[in-house]
Structure 1
Amino acid sequence: MLRTLGRRTLATGLTLATLLAGSLVATAPAAPARAATPAPEAAVPATIPLTITNNSGRADRVFLYNLGTQLSTGRQGWADANGTFHPWPPGGNPPTPAPDAAIPGPAAGQSTTIQVPRFSGRIYFSYGRKLDFRLTTGGLVQPAVQNPADPNRDILFNWSEYTLNDDGLWLNSTQVDMFSAPYTVGLQRADGTSVSAGKLRPGGYRGFFDALRGQPGGWAGLIQTRPDGTVLRALSPLYGVGTGALPATVMDDYIDRVWQKYTTSTLTVTPFADRPGIRYSGRVVGGVLRFTDTSGAVVTSFEKPDASSVFGCHRRLDAPNDQVRGPISRTLCAGFNRTTLLVNSQQPDTGSAAFYRDPVVTNHYARVVHAQMADGKAYAFAFDDVGHHESLVHDGAPRQARLSLEPLD
């Protein structure tokens, strides 16, 4: 996990899309940065309480899952309500059913408290039905509802991500893969104060889908419904492009204009807010965006990306966990998704006033997600933490955490 801006790759396994139809492997969701100054290990217990409160108003049964990687051993598995770790048994090919890791969730208006261990993982919740998890020889097969054959396709569910380690707890709400059943996250800090993230504006859930339906250019194709007409979710534009729900050329005009601009001008990237002396200069030469350091040496280069590279922050915008290409790529990814690269040649653009305002094209999914958040913060794409616009809570010595299931209105 990166100590600056970053995206964690969850070691919880493959997706059903990978196995059932050869479609996209789910992009690792956005994840928090680690604390710059580690807290004393004694301040962080082996488990902390997480209280899940059901404010959804729905009568459906709720099922909870705590899945991830045990940080002390690197083993994949699940935790029960007491925080006890259970490693996954060997899987098969074809995939075999995973052990039932479901924890009964709270009824409407009620709360359930579980213990979360030192994990890097996800808290899933589903309404009405248990989720279908499988095990293959490569590990856990997670839901991948961009695939119409995924057995979880017609289940209303969502997840939060967390890491609990010696440096404390990071807990986020994420829309990197999809926008679905709403929830907020929060924690109580060591000093007794509380902080929360991920809360929608009043009417924000329906407002998101209404806005997406009204956006020309194929964006309404991201919305998935059940056969009875129930709205389940909107896929991220990465999966929209991968499945054909969104045109693969949707970002081409903007990408072309960016490439043209920096053929004759310089793009400056200063990726570390605390190290302003580290900066890189980019120019498009021979169709390739080349970055040099302050000495003039070429440090990395990027081929012209496509929509998938932009929305997924991968492929031609791959971001390795290093100190040069990764930070530059993360900055580019944020600039492309927020369409700020033409209006600001000094990146990252940390203010949000110019985000998603290109008159021709932008990431409208991310635009609408942020617009419907009460504080404007979200994880609408993988590196939405560039400039600290993410929905994240953290403390080095948390007392307890919370997750609230919110109304679908």
Structure 2
Amino acid sequence: MLVRILRRLGAATAVATMLALATPLTADAAVPATIPLKITNSSGRGDAVYIYNLGTNLATGQQGWADAAGTFHAWPAGGNPPTPAPDASIAGPASGQSTTIRIPKFSGRIYFSYGQKLVFKLTTGGLVQPAVQNPTDPNRNILFNWSEYTLNDSGLWINSTQVDMFSAPYAVGVQRSDGSTASTGHLKSGGYTGFFNALRGQPGGWANLIQTRSDGTVLRALSPTYGIETGALPSTVMDDYINRVWSKYSSSTLTVTPFADQPNTKYYGRVSGNVMNFTNSSGAVVTTFQKPDAASIFGCYKYLDAPNDLVRGPISRTLCAGFNRSTLLVNPNQPDTTTANFYVDTVTNHYARKIHAQMADGKAYAFAFDDVGAQESLVNDGNPQQAYLTLDPLS
């Protein structure tokens, strides 16, 4: 099973360290120490572009950055208050141009910013990454985004993510050993402005997720996780749906089959005393869930925490997907992979709904476990020849 690991690093930001425990693939040849990443600027913008490759060196466990040649540099010790991090920026391509860098065996993020370098600082606990839900974050007025990737001995996994925010659009890709390529993350024509227009038209506070600069430039839409955290989105936004789910499964059973390749592994959920208890086929209780709230649903944590185990974590992932997509009432057998059932209820994750509607291939990482049912915007290969990052138009 492909495992996508999301963990919060510090109080300021949510960081996906993705796929460090990905299932090994059979590779045609050993994965080299570095592979090329071709970055193409199709944005149409005249701003300077800055690239950053930040993450964890998988050989040593050290956190740091890689330069354009793919050489790893460990972060120096930080301080309290935080001290400026070394300038890890790489000059990106001008509009209509491409730049190729090397990426090492890393699990981390490739950031890109327009017009300004990003501000990174170091605490005694490590790197402080941008947290634009904080109005005082120095990066709040910079247009930027990031991709997550893992390159290890089993291959490359690289994604287009909207788990934290929807911002400057981009796509990712990989060239396979046979010369073919796979890509994901492109928006439909007009999809960037289409998303923001759709979010503005969604009642209930969803328009408050949009952040703009003082000159009127649209910078991003925060994920509803941060919308709840900052008060931009009402904390009660999912209550009606949650109450209906809890009522339904007080008198009927929710069946979860968390592993597609293990159809006989099933867990059975029933609500009793405001708690959903899951039993195995022998009738033994294996885990319980308190009634979740919107923060738990959008963040896939808190009351829907998903440890990296073989029982609670997989059940929680399934519940998280079912709540975000609002499929738990239309199908008592989860996960529901019928996309026609997704986001149909009037109470749903409208941020995720509107992102998926604007993706050229329908795939996105609009919430943490959007990979349930293979709806994620991810490409991988066991013997990658080259990776791609394309900066798309903001239109």
If the TM-score is normalised by the length of the shorter chain, which range does it land in?
over 0.9
Q: Give the percent of matched residue pairs that are identical in Structure 1 and Structure 2.
A: 72
What secondary structure does 1:9 align onto? Answer: strand
Secondary structure, counterpart of 1:28 in structure 2? strand
CA deviation string 1:23-52 (max 9, x = no partner): xx4333384586645334942100000000
Q: State the secondary structure of the residue aligned to 1:149.
A: coil
2:342 to 327, 339, 355: 355
| Cα offsets for 1:158-210 (capped at 9, x unmatched) | 00000000110000000000000000000101111100000100000000000
Are the aligned partners of 2:18 and 2:108 in contact in 1 as well (CA < 8 Å)?
no
Letter in 1 for 2:394: L
Give the structure 1 partner of residue 370 of structure 2.
384
Structure 2 segments unaligned to the other structure (5+ residues): none
The question of whether the paired residues in 1 share the 8 Å contact of 2:18 and 2:107 is answered with no
Partner of residue 116, structure 2: 129
Q: Structure 2 vs 1, CA of residues 33 and 262 (structure 1 numbering), >3 Å: closer, same or farther?
A: farther
Aligned residues of 2:20 and 2:150 also touching (Cα < 8 A): no
Name the residue aligned to 2:83: 96
**Are the counterparts in 1 of residues 160 and 170 from structure 2 also a CA contact under 8 Å?**
yes
Which residue among 152, 157, 160 is the counterpart of 1:173?
Answer: 160
Task: Verify: 1:110 aligned to 2:110, yes or no.
Answer: no
Which residue matches 2:391? 405
Choose which of 205, 225, 232 in structure 2 pairs with 1:245: 232
Cα offsets for 1:363-388 (capped at 9, x unmatched): 00000000000111000000000000
**Aligned 8 A contact 2:3 2:22 in 1:** no
Q: 1:143 aligns with which of 127, 130, 133?
A: 130
Q: Partners in 2 of 1:33 and 1:26 — Cα distance?
A: 19
Structure 1 residues 357-376: aligned runs within 5 Å: 357-359=344-346, 361-376=347-362
Task: Judge conservation of contact 2:6–2:368 (CA < 8 Å) in 1.
Answer: no
Structure 1: which 4+ aligned runs deviate by more than 2 Å?
3-10, 25-43
3-state DSSP of counterpart to 1:181: coil
Cα offset, 1:284, TM superposition: 0.3
Count of residues in Structure 1 that have an aligned counterpart in Structure 2: 395
2:178 corresponds in structure 1 to: 191
Verify: 1:7 aligned to 2:5, yes or no. yes
Q: Is the CA contact (8 Å cut-off) linking 1:30 and 1:383 kept in structure 2?
A: no
Q: More deviation in 37-46 or 116-125?
A: 37-46
Which of the residues 180, 187, 196 maps onto 1:209? 196
Q: Give the TM-score, by structure 1 length.
A: 0.94
Does the 8 Å contact 1:52/1:113 carry over to 2?
yes
Query: What CA deviation, in whole Å up to 9, does each residue of 1:377-403 have, x standing for no partner?
Result: 000000000000000000000000110
Cα RMSD after superposing both structures? 1.4
Deviations 1:231-270 (A, max 9, x none): 0000000000000000000000000100000000000000
Summarize deviations over 1:121-176 as a string: whole Å, max 9, x none. Answer: 00000000000000000100000000000000000000000000011000000000
The alpha carbon displacement at 1:301 in A equals 0.3
- Report the secondary structure of 2:339's partner residue: coil
Flag structure 1 segments of 5+ consecutive residues without an equivalent: 19-24
Distance in 1 between residues matched to 2:17 and 2:87, nearest whole Å: 27
Q: Which residue of 1 aligns with 2:246?
A: 259
The answer on whether the counterparts of 1:120 and 1:164 sit within 8 Å (CA) in structure 2 is yes
Query: What residue is the counterpart of 1:326 in the other structure?
Result: 313
Provide the rounded CA distance (Å) in 1 between the counterparts of 2:343 and 2:13: 24
1:146–1:235: 8 Å Cα contact kept in structure 2? yes
Tell me the residue number matched to 1:22: none
Q: Which residue of 2 aligns with 1:289?
A: 276
For residue 293 of structure 1, what is the amino acid of its counterpart? N
Q: Is the 8 A contact 1:5 1:386 kept in 2?
A: no
